[in-house]
Amino acid sequence: MSVRVVARIRPLLKAEIEKDIIVHAEKTASATDKDSATIVRIPNPKNHGENFSFNFNSVYDQSATQAHIFDNEVSSTVKHLFKGFDVTIFAYGVTGTGKTHTMRGGKSLAERGVIPRLLSGIYRRARKAEKDSSGESTVEVSMSYFEIYNDKVFDLFEPPEKRTPAGLPIRDNQQGKAVVVGLTERPCTSLKEFEGLYDHANINRSTSATKLNAHSSRSHAILCVKISQTTGDQTRVSTVSAIDLAGSEDNRRTDNNKERLVESAAINKSLFVLAQCVEAISKGQARIPYRESKMTRILSLGQNKAHTVMVLNIAPVKSYHLDTLSSLNFANRTKKIETNEIENQPFYRDIPGKSKLDGPAMTSIAPTSALNRQPLRPKILSHNANIKDATVPIAKPTKQFSVYSDKPVRPSNQANTSHPRTTTRPSIRSPKRPSTDALPTLARPAKIPRTTATLKPTPGMSALDIEALIERKVTEALAERADTTSISNPEPMSDEVQKRLEALEKRVEGQETEQSEGLQYLLMAKQHQVRGEEASALKMYMLAQPYFQGNEKLERKIEGLRHRIEGRKKEEVETRRSPAKAVTTRTRDSPMKPAAAAAAKDFDADSSYHAAPSLHAASDSDSDSDTPVPRRPLTRIRRRPHGPTRSITAPSPAIHTLFDTEDPLIRDLCSPTPRTTRLLDIINTRDVAQIRLLKGVGAKRAEAIVGALCDMEIGEEDGGRGVVSLVELGRLRGVGAKLVQGMRGGCVEGVS
Ligand SMILES: Nc1ncnc2c1ncn2[C@@H]1O[C@H](COP(=O)(O)OP(=O)(O)OP(=O)(O)O)[C@@H](O)[C@H]1O
């Protein structure tokens, strides 16, 4: 099913006037009176006589009430939730277009937004389900709520003063879903309780007054509400995520100060990445850059297996013209994303082995499948043999148990470490079972009767009961093993090693924090430059300079930019004095100094400056719509060949390059020392022969490192990126800070 995209055009604000309205909701020609509008119409900024139209699932104009939006677009998702599907609802749009109004809304009953109404619907349905089952079923609701501020994750149940500067980490759970580690999950038994928690948490959200919005959200806020439906000993968990994204900002209009600019850069960057993800998905590219921002990682659009609704918030007026077009383009692409909705299967309650890491969404998948994968933290006693287990199909573990065997399960460590599974499997396969095909899969324990205490079959048991008994026993034993394994295999790190690792981490983090501040300025500089705001770009480059002292490339860039601005000013003055003369002035009258010329050349050669002007406009190659991407003056744009449509196409800004290695300047400024690079390169070869030659590493240790890399699955989801920092290396099982320092120190001698 595709992402459902609905557009909402907000009413005029006090300072806005009727005659500036340029965006309209319209119905299709074939629509009846009953049908709602599905088209957003907006003029072409280059030619006001021409209009662009964008088609969405629904379009709401200024008259749409909060109740209207909820009833038409969101209330039906409650049903999905209770059927076991996850749901994601998110609001997207430029700053000040009504995202928070839509999601949270006001205090009065009529003004309440999607979130409180959704919760109201959830509680209502929960009570009904409980009542209809005559008390057989219970529904529990719990919530977690966090924000992504400056690309860091913060628990909104924690007051800001208790936050750690680095925020909470994100990890992939066993199902490959990104979850925040260490989030508070609060049970809430009634709407009132929910509202109390939600309102309180919202006080902790980062908001500020900007020129475009007196209460502008400076972060992406993600609310996860978990619904656990229990009948007997089975529980089915589903999650609804309601996301109020921060709005993109055009800093020419915000008058943002330094702090707001930094926030703005982070917001814009994450929205850039989101646009890139959507573009990559819509083009069917193999690599979707989810990991380039925390927001995209969490949202995992198109990958999250949830029923997804996007509300596109739009301002109706001219001053938002270009931004609105960008948003419309983005939404146009998003609506084509197919989500593979998957129903969460019930699992047995109180099953041991559920990690805290799982987070709210984690438990939404049957635990049996979770058992097939390695935990995220390496377990010291586990062998590489376990890696194979990760590939064992879900139903296979059942073969390890015989229904007639009543012996206690072997302690997990032994089972895990002494024998690879493949050797034990045949001997414990039940000889009485001709085929495992008849087995119901572990992921569907729904048919299991609520028999309990004894695991021995009794004479009166049916074949189905026996099958169920096998499953039950297998599930419990595997869960127990997983649990024991995690408890009995703590990190074997001595206090001293732990301390050293922390010290190393702090040192590296300290450097990172300092550098990242400088990088923020570079990012902003680049954003300004992309928009043709060269004076602001220069200012930002200059602010970045103290963080990268002595960097010649940056100095050249600044000088080149300064020269360019001065040249332009001169040109303007000349033009005003004598337009005809000015045409030739540049070549005749102002020859560039060699250094400046080189700098300017460097500037020109940097292809990323030819990017599209709009912050969240990704490239547009859609063929089925009038999907313009605005262009701004002063920005040089490479045109793509015109296709069959008349869509105006701007190239995609290499957004992800803003902070990464594709930008030559940033690459230059961020690169780790050659020694570190060398060490990481060697480690990432996963070649025992090479690694064992590192200082302090013998053959056994080299093998353990390679094993740990595999265990941690570093690189699998990242296309084999391997360890990327010393800290990450130090965290590998059996490595530690001391060894890292030793290996690094010995690296200069060269290990080939
Ligand atoms: N449908 C609406 N009806 C009435 N007022 C609205 C509506 N939509 C938005 N507003 C008003 O517009 C202003 C901006 O809305 P809001 O704060 O929700 O924008 P936003 O998109 O969340 O902005 P930001 O990204 O900066 O947080 C608010 O004063 C809000 O009350």
- Per-residue pLDDT reduced to its tens digit, 151-200: 889 999 988 888 888 889 888 888 778 889 889 999 999 999 999 999 99
- Indicate if the pLDDT at residue 47 is higher than 70: yes
Residues near ligand 1 (Cβ within 6 A): 10-11, 13, 93, 95-101, 213, 215-217, 246-247, 313
Structure token pair of residue 301: 């659009």
Nearest Cα to Cα of residue 668 among 550, 581, 573, 564: 550
What mean pLDDT comes out for the span 434-460? 39
494 domain residue, yes or no: no
Identify whether residues 541 and 679 lie together within a single domain: no
What mean pLDDT comes out for the span 74-92? 92
Name the domain count of the chain: 4
418 domain residue, yes or no: yes
> What is the extent of the structural domain holding 452?
347-488
Instruction: Compute, in angstroms, the gap from residue 23 CA to the centroid of ligand 1.
Output: 17
Identify whether residues 104 and 149 lie together within a single domain: yes
What distance in Å separates the CA atoms of residue 498 and residue 505, rounded to the nearest whole number?
10
Identify whether residues 230 and 296 lie together within a single domain: yes
230 compared with 513, residue with greater pLDDT: 230
172 compared with 505, residue with greater pLDDT: 172
Identify whether residues 624 and 700 lie together within a single domain: no
475 domain residue, yes or no: yes
pLDDT at position 142 is 96
Instruction: Compute, in angstroms, the gap from residue 218 CA to the centroid of ligand 1.
Output: 14
Among residues 668, 695, 719, the one where a domain terminates is 668
- Indicate if the pLDDT at residue 268 is higher than 60: yes
Nearest Cα to Cα of residue 156 among 87, 244, 237: 244
Structure token pair of residue 381: 């006693």
- With a pLDDT cut of 90, the percent of the chain lying above it is 24
Instruction: Compute, in angstroms, the gap from residue 372 CA to the centroid of ligand 1.
Output: 46
- With a pLDDT cut of 70, the percent of the chain lying above it is 58
245 compared with 713, residue with greater pLDDT: 245
Mapping DSSP to helix (H, G, I), strand (E, B) and coil, where does residue 50 land? strand
Atom of ligand 1 nearest to the CA of 8: 1
Identify whether residues 603 and 464 lie together within a single domain: no
Consult the annotation and say whether 79 binds a ligand: no
Identify whether residues 146 and 207 lie together within a single domain: yes
444 domain residue, yes or no: yes
Instruction: Compute, in angstroms, the gap from residue 100 CA to the centroid of ligand 1.
Output: 6
Consult the annotation and say whether 207 binds a ligand: no
Among residues 301, 334, 367, the one where a domain terminates is 334
- Indicate if the pLDDT at residue 611 is higher than 90: no
In a 13 Å sphere around the CA of 164, the CA atoms on its Cβ side amount to: 9
342 domain residue, yes or no: no
Consult the annotation and say whether 99 binds a ligand: yes
Instruction: Compute, in angstroms, the gap from residue 91 CA to the centroid of ligand 1.
Output: 11
Structure token pair of residue 735: 């490595």
- Of 60, 101, 215, 324, best ligand 1 pocket probe by most atoms within 8 Å of the beta carbon: 101
Consult the annotation and say whether 84 binds a ligand: no
Mapping DSSP to helix (H, G, I), strand (E, B) and coil, where does residue 583 land? helix
Consult the annotation and say whether 102 binds a ligand: no
Among residues 625, 641, 668, the one where a domain terminates is 668
Residues 6+ apart with CB under 8 A from 385: 419, 420, 421
Instruction: Compute, in angstroms, the gap from residue 310 CA to the centroid of ligand 1.
Output: 16
- Indicate if the pLDDT at residue 624 is higher than 60: no
What distance in Å separates the CA atoms of residue 571 and residue 565, rounded to the nearest whole number?
10
Length of the chain (residues) = 752
What separation in angstroms does the CA of 54 have from each of 59, 329, 330, 583, 624? 10, 8, 11, 41, 10
Atom of ligand 1 nearest to the CA of 62: 1
- Of 63, 66, 100, best ligand 1 pocket probe by most atoms within 8 Å of the beta carbon: 100
339 domain residue, yes or no: no
750 domain residue, yes or no: no
What mean pLDDT comes out for the span 468-484? 48
Identify whether residues 577 and 692 lie together within a single domain: no
Identify whether residues 266 and 377 lie together within a single domain: no
ipTM of the complex model:
0.98
Mapping DSSP to helix (H, G, I), strand (E, B) and coil, where does residue 689 land? helix
> Which pLDDT band, with edges at 50, 70 and 90, does 290 fall under?
confident
455 compared with 499, residue with greater pLDDT: 499
338 compared with 398, residue with greater pLDDT: 338
- Of 8, 10, 94, 267, best ligand 1 pocket probe by most atoms within 8 Å of the beta carbon: 10
pLDDT at position 242 is 94
- Of 94, 205, 213, 310, best ligand 1 pocket probe by most atoms within 8 Å of the beta carbon: 213
Instruction: Compute, in angstroms, the gap from residue 98 CA to the centroid of ligand 1.
Output: 3
What distance in Å separates the CA atoms of residue 358 and residue 509, rounded to the nearest whole number?
26
51 domain residue, yes or no: yes
- Per-residue pLDDT reduced to its tens digit, 514-548: 566 677 677 777 766 766 778 778 877 887 777 77
Instruction: Compute, in angstroms, the gap from residue 97 CA to the centroid of ligand 1.
Output: 5
> Which pLDDT band, with edges at 50, 70 and 90, does 87 fall under?
very high
* Nearest residue by C-alpha to atom 9 in ligand 1: 98
Please answer whether residues 626 and 646 qualify as being in contact, where contact means their C-beta atoms are separated by less than 8 angstroms: yes
- Indicate if the pLDDT at residue 497 is higher than 90: no
DSSP class of 146 = E
H helices within 440-551, ranges in order?
A: 463-488, 495-530, 534-544
Most confident region among 378-382, 396-400, 481-485 by mean pLDDT: 481-485
> Which pLDDT band, with edges at 50, 70 and 90, does 499 fall under?
low
Atom of ligand 1 nearest to the CA of 247: 25
